[in-house]
Amino acid sequence: MKLAVRAERWPIAGTFTIARGAKTEAEVVVVEIADGPNVGRGECVPYARYGETTASVIAAIESERVLDRASLTVRGAARSAIDCALWDLEAKRTGRSVAELAGLDVPAPFVTATTISIDTPERMASAARALDRPLLKLKLAGDGVDLDRVRAVRDAAPRATLWVDANEGWDTATYDALAPRLAALDVALLEQPLPAAQDHALRGRARPIPICADESAHDASTIASLADRYDAVNVKLDKAGGLTGAIATIDAARAAGLRVALGCMVCTSLAIAPACLLVSRADWIDLDGSILLARDRDGGARFEAGTLVPPSSALWG
């Protein structure tokens, strides 16, 4: 088998802003593994929050010598791209879908969260009104305006389910002040309110709405320790180590009594496709990463009548 790796840049439609910063393009790493006429592909997004860069992820991928899902030595995003490429390659070799090979459900259209970046309350409300989607994920900043943001979106989208994500931007005082007020606004899920290094402060604290770990939850090995402070974990392939790692992470979450949010980075549909196989195993779904792009790969995911139609199997799997 021969492995090739490259970086690609894909423009975002507008600007994607979270508590840690803003960006106007998605930088992804693509792996291709060839075995004769068959070529499997996988994509990952280097996770800057964990110290990953495009260069470090490419170097890690190029260092991998054992191209076998069970024996990969690299971790994180690098492992995800290789793992997904190996699944795709096996599907092409065997003529069977990855869903069949992995014993997972064939992806069908599903409701996903649509993300609204941090902005003024008025602009976030306007975006919610224009989107008119059943599930909205609001990025928050911890800057004293978050409650106004959520109130404005709730007024603009009274029937939508709201999921808010602070991306580690709050402190305990902000949490104590806002959590009950978000519950009163019928927010369904609050993601990573405190920095991962300080989330022990959630232990024993009132949780008027379910709290989901994201930056605190990496792969399967980190999940059991979170059960005393969270109600759910956000499983992303780039953190978990690909489709194989995500399956293991979901299993670990269920074993720990935690619910599952299925998430993604801003990416193309090549990275969304394997995550779509896990939709039936999640309680909340946020797989709009490719929809946020100005353009996507051929055969990519698309919104249709309020639901996301998974990418074509010709693209991956």
pLDDT at 142: 94
Task: Identify the pLDDT of residue 18.
Answer: 83
Give the model's pLDDT for residue 14.
Answer: 85
Per-residue DSSP letter, 15: E
| pLDDT score, position 306 | 73
Average pLDDT over residues 80-98: 98
Q: Is 2 annotated in the active site?
A: no
Instruction: Please give the full DSSP string across 83-147, using - where no structure is assigned.
Output: HHHHHHHHHHHHT--HHHHHT-PPP--B---EEE-S--HHHHHHHHHHH--SEEEEE--SSS-HH
pLDDT surpassing 90 at residue 161 = yes
Of the candidates 311, 315, 239, 314, the one whose C-alpha atom is nearest the C-alpha of residue 279 is 311
- The answer to whether residue 55 scores a pLDDT higher than 80 is yes
Structure pTM? 0.95
Q: Which of the following is catalytic: 23, 92, 236, 239?
A: 236
Catalytic residue chosen out of the listed positions 2, 92, 137, 139: 139
Can 236 be counted among the known catalytic residues? Answer: yes
Mean pLDDT across 180-190:
98
User: Given this model, what pLDDT does residue 11 score?
Assistant: 95
Confidence of residue 79 (pLDDT cuts 50, 70, 90): very high
Mean pLDDT of 169-180: 98
